[in-house]
Structure 1
Amino acid sequence: MKQIHNAIPPHCFQRNTLRSLRYILRDFACAAVLALSGTQISKIPFCQLRVMSWFIYTFLQGLVFTGLWELAHECGHQALSPSRRFNNSAGLLIHSLLLVPYHSWRLTHAQHHKSTNNIEEDIAFVPETKELWLAARKKRSSEPIFGYWEMVEDMPIVNLLILIGHQLIAWPIYLMINNFALPRMHAYPWWKRSHFYFGGGGPNFRPTESNDVVLSTIGVGLFGAILYAAMVHFGLCTVFLFYGAPWLWTNHWILAIAFLQHTDVSLPYYKTKSWSFVRGCASTIDRDFGFIGRNLFHGTIEYHVLHHHVCRIPFYHAKEASNAIQAVMKSHYQSDMKTPYLWAFWKTYNECRFVEEKDPGSDIYYFGTK
């Protein structure tokens, strides 16, 4: 780690509050311009054009929302400003507007950074081992519907429908009940695993963090009340078109981004005995999403390996810092800049179902095939 830190130019560690604020205001301005443009869609005379226009609006607004989400994520790492108050205030505002409990997720996300690709400790996109995957299938085999499921489960259309459903609802469900939790966390009832739970005795937060969890819950609750008032005044359909549909797009992008940052046939997973922080940091992968990734998503896709090694480098220095650490990491640096991003998502989703030990007793796992 010392070699990696030393390879990064010193100015890359500098966080500029005004520069970061300009990016935040830029993204809010883009969202406002798109929303104002959306007010004109109802004036389009042809139904087909209106439908197409709403699709374009919600897609573009979803990209902007995702960019804002990523800026709040940067705030959670204290990466946008030397001021902790600025970072947490901006992060709380942005994430609350996207119905994310800022501090609660910041705290659980920190655990992910401390245990990346440790299949016994990590809390984000932890794959099942082959043994657990087969055991789960064997348990389901006694169900009457399982035989029919086996006949259709590998059909592309079935996988696509399941994937769409997952991308729409998995993120808010995770925030509510932490259903991606490790088996050791299943000993707790779902409400104690929730990112909104601020009582004692839960697996996610220490008693000293309760005030932050309460503040995050209040932030989401206040914006939820604003959305309800907007629905009463403007109607459910209008609020869904202007906010709800872009929010669903954002849920999709957040899940897709995180999944592809940590899932690939080339990436190793470890048990605690063989895991180390450096190994975990190197078990992530950079990909390319072109203009959208570098400009709207602020490079979170292209420079994620760097982010796990040094998470306080602001995104606007990430490219230079990433190039610097690649020279040190050499063959340990993982990237796939050739596969089109959405194709990589589909391919990885279908191929990466469980991990199996590469060599018996090594406690190092790679994705296998069914």
Structure 2
Amino acid sequence: MLSLFSLLNFVPYWFDFQGTSQRPIRSQRITTHSSPATICHLKWDNLLLKGINHKKGLSPLRRTKVIQAVAVPATASSADSAEYRKQLAERYGFRQIGEPLPDNVTLKDVIDTLPKKVFEIDDVKAWTSVLISATSYALGIYMISKAPWCMLPLAWAWTGTAITGFFVIGHDCAHKSFSKNKLLEDIVGTLAFLPLIYPYEPWRFKHDRHHAKTNMLSEDTAWHPVWAEEFETSPFLRKAIIFGYGPFRPWMSIAHWLIWHFDVNKFRPNEVKRVKISLACVFAFMAIGWPLIIYKTGIMGWMKFWLMPWLGYHFWMSTFTMVHHTAPYIPFKSSDEWNAARAQLNGTVHCDYPRWVEILCHDINVHIPHHISSRIPSYNLRAAHMSIKETWGPYLNEAKWNWRLMKTIMTVCHVYNKEQNYIAFDELAPEESSPIIFLKRVMPDYA
């Protein structure tokens, strides 16, 4: 896993491409006001962040102990202060941690500040993205065919990133932001997903629920923290979870793909027909495409030309997904506490990746505007982000991809806890968490 990260960072040098009454307006900056005389409840994890050690073996229930302290107005020790958020950003590998969104702001308020042009579908730009993905994928296949064994990892990294672009095209089709012709969208989306062995309709149905229930406990169909009950189910499952959410996390989307998209029983009756059509397309592709690859190139050729790029795609699929909504300070909420504006604006992360990755993946990591409105086409996400930043800048979570960010997610963001958001595996079960302890030792800590 570490070597793949290093190779991916090396590639650019080889391929140098270059509804409320207080609705804000562009020139406004919304601010919150808090009473200067308050009692500040410092959560146990905040104490940990400030370097206060706790004894090993403390039970999860006792970790939720609340300590009270009298807060003085405008002090840097306040958990909501700019200075404290700056400290957290440095600790976790973020460029900025957004301040809490005021309670009176709705998702419609945010959408209404966006210029209308970012919602416009442009057929030329849409098909240009298809051309970019097809060309870059063809180049990747050519590189794999010509590269000596020592250079194959670079070719696989490029090709895996290129087919991630196919996923983003299908992603736009699923959100009805690729074309005004909805039948054409479904056809293009299905075809774009086929090389990835992804059934288009099952993914679309589940992904729509992710947008409707982002960072909502249980209801969010993307990743969410591990439940304590799951973690305590059995030693075997606990070990599998530790590896899955630890060292194997950059490929955990493979498990998600298998669990969520091939079981017809997971879908509503009115969805089943479309689900079966998508599954038939995927199985037909496997039944025809795989034997042809093996016939022409052998089993090793199938591994070279399909399996390894597919694993590269899942690396990005997993990495993008966990970075978009996972951080120690981003909470998951039960349905009765959930707030749409906070989940989509405050609970989504904008992350800058190397430019070649952004180009091949069609700016999917400009992710905050996509969660404000999934009807914004991928080629308009940057313009939408600039608009959001102009009006809502203080509330945004932003990062540039770095080792500290990945290390935080893979070694801290594990088991759900209402007070702390997350408890790390090595806190709950230190004797079984050697994979997490290993990651803490070997993963770089620079931002």
TM superposition score normalised by structure 2: 0.65
Instruction: Tell me what 1:182 maps to.
Output: none
What one-letter code is carried by the residue in structure 1 that aligns with 2:296? H
1:162–1:76 CA distance, 2 compared to 1 (3 A): closer
Q: Can you list the C-alpha shifts for 1:50-88, whole angstroms capped at 9, x where unaligned? A: 222211111110110112212211211111222212221
Partners of 1:32 and 1:174 lie apart in 2 by 28
Q: Shift of residue 97 of structure 1?
A: 1.7
The answer to whether structure 1 residue 345 and structure 2 residue 395 are counterparts is no
Q: Shift of residue 355 of structure 1?
A: 3.2
Residue 294 of structure 1, aligned match among 358, 375, 381: 358
Instruction: State, as a whole percentage, how many aligned pairs show the same letter.
Output: 21
Aligned residues of 1:16 and 1:82 also touching (Cα < 8 A): no
Residue 4 of structure 1, aligned match among 110, 120, 125: 110
Q: Shift of residue 164 of structure 1?
A: 5.1
What one-letter code is carried by the residue in structure 1 that aligns with 2:421? Y
Aligned residues of 1:287 and 1:341 also touching (Cα < 8 A): no
1:6–1:243 CA distance, 2 compared to 1 (3 A): same
Alignment of 1:168-207 (within 5 A): 168=251, 170-178=252-260, 195-198=261-264, 202=265, 204-207=266-269
Residue 329 of structure 1, aligned match among 377, 392, 412: 392
Partners of 1:166 and 1:325 lie apart in 2 by 31
Alignment of 1:1-370 (within 5 A): 1-41=107-147, 50-128=148-226, 131-132=228-229, 136-137=231-232, 140=234, 163=246, 165-168=248-251, 170-178=252-260, 195-198=261-264, 202=265, 204-225=266-287, 226-282=289-345, 283-301=347-365, 303-337=366-400, 340-358=401-419, 366-369=421-424, 370=427
Partners of 1:293 and 1:33 lie apart in 2 by 15
1:217–1:350 CA distance, 2 compared to 1 (3 A): same
Partners of 2:290 and 2:246 lie apart in 1 by 28
Instruction: Tell me what 1:47 maps to.
Output: none
For structure 2, the 5+ residue unaligned runs are 1-106, 428-447
- Aligned positions, number: 315
Instruction: Tell me what 2:100 maps to.
Output: none
Partners of 2:203 and 2:146 lie apart in 1 by 36
What one-letter code is carried by the residue in structure 2 that aligns with 1:89? I
**Structure 1 SS opposite 2:421:** strand
Q: Shift of residue 18 of structure 1?
A: 2.5
Partners of 2:328 and 2:363 lie apart in 1 by 22
Q: Shift of residue 21 of structure 1?
A: 0.9
Q: Shift of residue 140 of structure 1?
A: 4.5
Partners of 2:362 and 2:267 lie apart in 1 by 29
1:357–1:171 CA distance, 2 compared to 1 (3 A): closer
1:366–1:321 CA distance, 2 compared to 1 (3 A): same
Aligned residues of 1:76 and 1:91 also touching (Cα < 8 A): yes
What one-letter code is carried by the residue in structure 1 that aligns with 2:280? I
1:342–1:81 CA distance, 2 compared to 1 (3 A): farther
1:196–1:162 CA distance, 2 compared to 1 (3 A): closer
Larger Rg: 2
**Structure 2 SS opposite 1:82:** coil
For structure 1, the 5+ residue unaligned runs are 42-49, 154-158, 179-194, 359-364
Partners of 2:348 and 2:220 lie apart in 1 by 13
Partners of 1:366 and 1:237 lie apart in 2 by 44
1:245–1:207 CA distance, 2 compared to 1 (3 A): same
Aligned residues of 1:66 and 1:250 also touching (Cα < 8 A): yes
Aligned residues of 2:129 and 2:362 also touching (Cα < 8 A): no
What one-letter code is carried by the residue in structure 2 that aligns with 1:366? N
1:341–1:216 CA distance, 2 compared to 1 (3 A): farther
What one-letter code is carried by the residue in structure 2 that aligns with 1:98? L
What one-letter code is carried by the residue in structure 2 that aligns with 1:304? H
What one-letter code is carried by the residue in structure 2 that aligns with 1:205? F
Aligned residues of 2:125 and 2:379 also touching (Cα < 8 A): no
What one-letter code is carried by the residue in structure 1 that aligns with 2:374? C
1:127–1:291 CA distance, 2 compared to 1 (3 A): same
Q: Shift of residue 349 of structure 1?
A: 0.8
Q: Can you list the C-alpha shifts for 1:123-155, whole angstroms capped at 9, x where unaligned? A: 2111135x547xx34x556x8x99xx8xxx8xx
